[in-house]
């Protein structure tokens, strides 16, 4: 009977060791899978962050361009007003010249 007990202990110990080895292999596989998943997420979210950074840069450039366009529009409006004033002055000058005695020939 002693031999049976030691054999049984040996079998149980062997089974436990085998189970532990299998679980250790599974743990390693899971650990590798989690590491791989973490790396994939890091690349994915890093890519998103990079894209967001690029978009922020593009938005910044567009905002700057919009400000430049607003300034150009203001400048164009100011130039147009100035030109309109110039045309009014020119028409007044022409009207004055045509009605003025300065340009009329004298009857003498």
> Would you give the DSSP letter of residue 105?
P
> What pLDDT is attached to residue 104?
59
CA distance 21 to 66: 66
- Residue of 95, 92, 72 lying closest to 84 (CA atoms): 92
CA distance 70 to 64: 10
Q: What is the pTM of this model?
A: 0.42
pLDDT higher than threshold 70 for residue 70: yes
**pLDDT by residue (tens digit) across 19-68?**
888 888 888 888 888 888 988 888 888 878 888 888 888 889 999 999 99
């Amino acid at each position: 009977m002693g031999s049976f007990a030691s054999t049984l202990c040996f079998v149980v110990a062997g089974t436990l060791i085998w189970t532990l080895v299998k679980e250790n292999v599974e743990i390693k596989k899971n650990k590798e899978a989690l590491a791989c998943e973490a790396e994939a997420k890091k690349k994915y979210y890093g890519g998103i962050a990079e894209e967001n950074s690029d978009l922020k840069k593009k938005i910044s450039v567009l905002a700057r361009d919009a400000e430049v366009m607003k300034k150009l529009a203001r400048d164009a409006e100011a130039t147009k007003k100035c030109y309109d004033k110039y045309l009014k002055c020119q028409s007044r000058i022409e009207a004055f010249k045509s009605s003025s005695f300065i340009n009329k020939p004298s009857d003498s």
